[in-house]
Each structure stands twice: as C-alpha cells, then as structure tokens.
C-alpha cells in the first residue's frame, strides 16, 4: 500500500461532525453583519510580501517570524500567504478607489496563515471574521464596533464569558514622545530584560511591555504610561469613546498595557478576552489605523477594524455547550423492491420541492437496516416505499420521534401528511 499523506502540521481539517458548528457560527455572524449594514469583501489569500511588511511593520512577531513567504518561480516575485485580513482589504480599497468620496463598512472571512507553534487555540492555518470601517474618524464608529461585537456575544450566549479591554495608543507624535521616555526607562533594566525584550528595546519598545514573562511584570507596571503623554485631542477621542460604550451599557476594563502586536494601530484599541482558553484568551482584537491607507499609497483616510479568531470562539462555544444539535433531515426515504428506486427518486424530489429536506436511501439494504440508518441520522420521519406502495401509488409515513401510528397515504399526499404530523 502506498504511504498515507498527512495534512500539514498546524493546519486542520474540519470534518462533518464539526463543520455544522462552523456553519452555525457563520450564519449568526452573517446575520449580525447584515443588521449593522456591513458588506462582504473577498480578497486573495496570496499577496505581495511588501504589502504585509509595510503595513504590519518589520519589527512584529508576524513579519519577523510568522509569515509563509515564497518566491514565485515564474517571475521571482516574493509572495506571502496572508497572515491577517486588514492589509489585503485596505490594498483592495485603495486599488479600486472605494474611498473616493465614500465611506465603507466591510467584512471578510477566511483562512489566515502564521508559522507559529501549534497548540490549543493557535494554529498555522486559522480562520478569522474581520470588519473594517473606513473613512470614519470616530469615536462613534469605534463605539459601533464595540456594540456589534457585544451583540455577537449576546446572540451566541457568551456575554458572560468574555471581557472587553480597551486602551488608546494616541497619535504618532504622542507615541514618539512616550517612546523616548520608555526607552530611557527600559535601558535601566537591561540586565533583567529577556531576549525578546532586548531585541525590541530600540526597535519596538512598546512591545516590551506586551511580554507575558512574570519576572518583568513589576518593571512593566511602573513604566511610563502612554496615557500620560496624550494631548487634549487624543484624550477627548478616548473619553468620547468610553462615554459611548458606557451609554451602551457595555462593561469594559481599561488596560493601559494593551498595545496590540501590529504597528499600524493608533488611538482606540480593544480586545475581547476570556480566561477560559488558557494563554490563547483573546478571541477578538481590533483598533484604529488612521495612517494605513496612506502607507499603502492611498489618500489619507481614517479606519478602524477588528479580527476575530473563529477557532477560539468555537472552542468557547464547545466548552460552554452552547452549540445547537447537529442538523438532521426531515425525512429518510426507505426504499426496496421492484420499481422502488425510481419511484423513491421522484418522490424525494417532490418532497424537497414541498420544502422538506430528504435523505434518500441509495443502493441495497433490508428494510430493517434502512430503518436503523433512518433513526441514526436523526431524521424526524421515515417515508417507506416497497413493491406494494409502488403499485398502489402510495407511501408509508412513520414518525421516528413520536408515538404516532404509521400511516399509508397517497403518494401526492406525503408532504401534507408530514406537515400534519409536525404540528
């Protein structure tokens, strides 16, 4: 026998036993996004590498070590499997002039790729739902994104399982002033900084504070706070956002250490966090990125968005047993005998046209084994046809989930008989 080929490490199959859970989540999400007036955008999975380097930033985990990049052997271009969705969405918005005298409320969904160490809630191919609201200066739209995500948790039954954390990163000048003070402060701790900290001290000092190393917590807690470097405009933006979230009645916690891993953020940043998934506790993360369209060669336009890890939300829904039962067909069509396969095929089509979902038995099998299958698949009804039914133009309708007597009805009356039994 030939050797089996396995999936790539950290890239998972979603089998039917679980895929309906994805479909459930996707349908809730689509309904939500429609209710808020967001439109879908679909961009390629592969982009030119410089798009990500320029937007995400050279000194970030993603660009430093997580990207799947390769050279296109035909023309030597460096291409990358997208590690996140904002860069591609903004590239498309700029390329197609979507922001010319217009604002956009966009959403995307799809696979993202990062070369990380696979563990629970962390994979090399993972999936995100994301939203980008472009052309709005905020803070009202910033609050809309909080309202939208809070609404999602409510619809899924997760409102008590996640906490909203918010922070502001100010504008570029304020960050630069804070950066000088932060570097000076961190230089005093050279001897205790870990390898990541040393590496980021001058390139991305804000991220030194993003460490999970417990030995550095005291140092981080006493570090100069960006909040103290904000001017009146940034402060007003932040206060306005907070007031709106409070007016919506959504509880939140200010976390001055929330910095986000990507370079392009400014002003509002937020995360929805759970304590129930171990270290992979962030289920949704977002923020404002007002300079990004310009950085990508477009006209200046403000923007804010978030990305949500679908696998992490599903893990939470599974843990909390908040997922619906696997869907089952209305009818399993049992058929055996002379003329039954053709008779069953046309009957199944008629039932589907009448609005029922029908799983038709294909191939051989005794009535007994077919009835077992009907039961196992969770169907509400079995419709049974044998030689007698074929010659009499009838079918037997049997409820599989109630004590109702089975009945023989005219073939044209099967859908009506099922409808009568359903109520």
Binding residues for ligand ATP, per CB under 6 A? 84, 114, 116, 121-123, 126, 128, 261, 280, 282-285, 307, 309, 311-312
Q: Cβ of residue 61: shortest distance to ligand ATP, in angstroms?
A: 6
Q: Which is nearer to ligand ATP, 114 or 288 (CB)?
A: 114
The residue (of 105 and 312) whose beta carbon lies closer to ligand ATP is 312
Q: How near is the Cβ of 202 to ligand ATP at its closest, in Å?
A: 22
* Nearest approach, Cβ of residue 159 and ligand ATP (Å): 18
Smallest separation (angstroms) from ligand ATP to the CB of 86:
9
Q: How far apart are the first and last CA of the chain?
A: 54
Side-chain half-sphere exposure of 371, counting CA atoms within 13 A: 11
Q: Report the C-alpha gap between 352 and 239 in whole angstroms.
A: 56
Both tokens of residue 351?
């039932």
Rank residues 91 and 312 by Cβ distance to ligand ATP and give the closer one: 312
CA distance 282 to 273: 4
**Closer CB to ligand ATP, 279 or 342, in the complex:** 279
- Least distance (Å) between residue 114 CB and ligand ATP: 5
Question: Rounded to whole angstroms, how far apart are CA atoms 312 and 316?
Answer: 6
Residue nearest to ligand ATP (CB): 309
Q: How far is the CB of 312 from ligand ATP (least distance, A)?
A: 5
Taking the complex as a whole, the smallest distance from the CB of residue 13 to ligand ATP amounts, in Å, to 15
Sequence-distant contacts of 235-242: CB under 8 A, at least 24 apart = 237/138, 237/139, 237/168, 237/267, 237/268, 238/139, 238/168, 238/267, 238/268, 240/138, 240/139, 241/138, 241/139, 241/142, 241/143, 241/166, 241/168, 241/268, 242/166
- How many Å apart are CA 392 and CA 159, to the nearest integer? 57
Distance from C-alpha of 405 to C-alpha of 26, rounded to nearest angstrom:
39
Of 255 and 280, the one with the shorter C-beta distance to ligand ATP is: 280
Encoded tokens for 405: 């007597």
Q: Whole-angstrom Cα distance, residue 63 to residue 56? A: 7
Q: Which is nearer to ligand ATP, 288 or 312 (CB)?
A: 312
Indicate the residue among 105 and 114 with the shorter CB distance to ligand ATP.
114
């Amino acid at each position: 026998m030939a050797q089996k080929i396995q999936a790539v490490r950290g890239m998972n199959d979603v089998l039917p036993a679980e895929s309906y859970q994805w479909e459930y989540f996707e349908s809730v999400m689509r309904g939500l996004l429609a209710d808020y007036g967001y439109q879908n955008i679909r961009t390629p999975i592969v982009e030119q590498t410089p798009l990500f380097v320029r937007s995400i930033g050279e000194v970030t985990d993603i660009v430093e070590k997580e990207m799947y990049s390769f050279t296109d052997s035909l023309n030597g271009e460096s291409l990358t499997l997208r590690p996140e969705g904002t860069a591609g969405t903004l590239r498309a918005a700029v390329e197609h002039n979507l922001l010319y005298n217009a604002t956009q409320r966009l959403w995307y969904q799809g696979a993202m790729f990062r070369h990380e160490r696979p563990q629970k809630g962390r994979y090399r191919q993972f999936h995100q739902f994301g939203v980008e609201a472009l052309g709005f200066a905020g803070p009202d739209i910033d609050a809309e994104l909080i309202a939208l995500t809070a609404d999602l948790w409510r619809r899924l039954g997760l409102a008590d399982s996640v906490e909203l954390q918010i922070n502001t990163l100010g504008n570029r000048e304020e960050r630069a002033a804070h950066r000088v003070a932060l570097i000076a402060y961190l230089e005093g701790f050279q001897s205790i900084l870990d390898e990541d900290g040393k590496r980021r001290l001058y390139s991305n000092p804000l991220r030194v504070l993003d460490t999970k190393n417990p030995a550095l917590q005291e140092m981080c807690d006493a570090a100069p706070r960006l909040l103290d470097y904000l001017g009146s405009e940034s402060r007003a933006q932040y206060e306005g956002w907070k007031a709106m979230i409070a007016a919506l009645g959504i509880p939140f916690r200010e976390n001055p250490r929330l910095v986000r891993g990507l370079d392009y953020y400014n002003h509002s940043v937020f995360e929805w966090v759970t304590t129930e998934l171990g270290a992979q506790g962030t289920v949704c993360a977002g923020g404002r990125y007002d300079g990004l369209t310009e950085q990508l060669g477009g006209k200046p336009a403000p923007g804010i968005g978030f990305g949500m890890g679908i696998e992490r939300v599903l893990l939470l829904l599974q843990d909390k047993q908040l997922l619906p039962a696997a869907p089952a067909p209305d009818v399993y069509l049992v058929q055996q005998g002379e003329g039954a396969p053709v008779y069953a095929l046309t009957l199944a089509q008629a039932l589907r046209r009448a609005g029922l979902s029908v799983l038709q038995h294909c191939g051989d099998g005794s009535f007994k084994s077919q009835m077992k299958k009907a039961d196992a698949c969770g169907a509400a009804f079995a419709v049974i046809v044998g030689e007698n039914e074929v010659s009499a133009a009838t079918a037997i309708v049997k409820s599989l989930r109630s004590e109702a007597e089975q009945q023989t009805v005219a073939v044209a009356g099967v859908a009506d008989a099922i409808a009568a039994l359903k109520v």
